[in-house]
Amino acid sequence: MKIAIIGTGNIGSTLARGWAKTGHDIFLGVRDLNNFKGKALLSQKNISAHHIPEAVSKAEVILISVPPNVIPFVVSYLKEAEEKVIIDPTNSFRSKPEGFENGFDALTRLTSCKHIVKAFNNTGFENMIHPAGLDTFVSGDSEKAKKIVVQLAKDLGFANCYDFGGSDKAALQEQLGMAWINLALIQGMGRNIAINVVKR
Ligand X SMILES: NC(=O)c1ccc[n+]([C@@H]2O[C@H](COP(=O)([O-])OP(=O)(O)OC[C@H]3O[C@@H](n4cnc5c(N)ncnc54)[C@H](OP(=O)(O)O)[C@@H]3O)[C@@H](O)[C@H]2O)c1
> Is 31 one of the binding residues for ligand X (CB under 6 A)?
yes
Question: CB of residue 198 vs ligand X: minimum separation in angstroms?
Answer: 22
**Among 2, 46, 48, 125, interactor with ligand X by CB under 6 A:** 125
Q: Select from 64-72, 105-113, 149-157, 160-168 the region that touches ligand X (CB under 6 A).
A: 64-72
CB of 67 to ligand X, least distance (A): 5
Provide the edge-to-edge strand list for the sheet that holds 160-165.
47-51, 25-30, 2-6, 61-64, 85-88, 115-119, 135-139, 160-165
36 binds ligand X (CB under 6 A): yes
Size of the site for ligand X (CB under 6 A): 24
Question: Which residue has the closest beta carbon to ligand X?
Answer: 9
* CA pair distance 96, 92, nearest whole angstrom: 5
Range 83-112, binding ligand X (CB under 6 A): 89-91, 93
69 binds ligand X (CB under 6 A): no
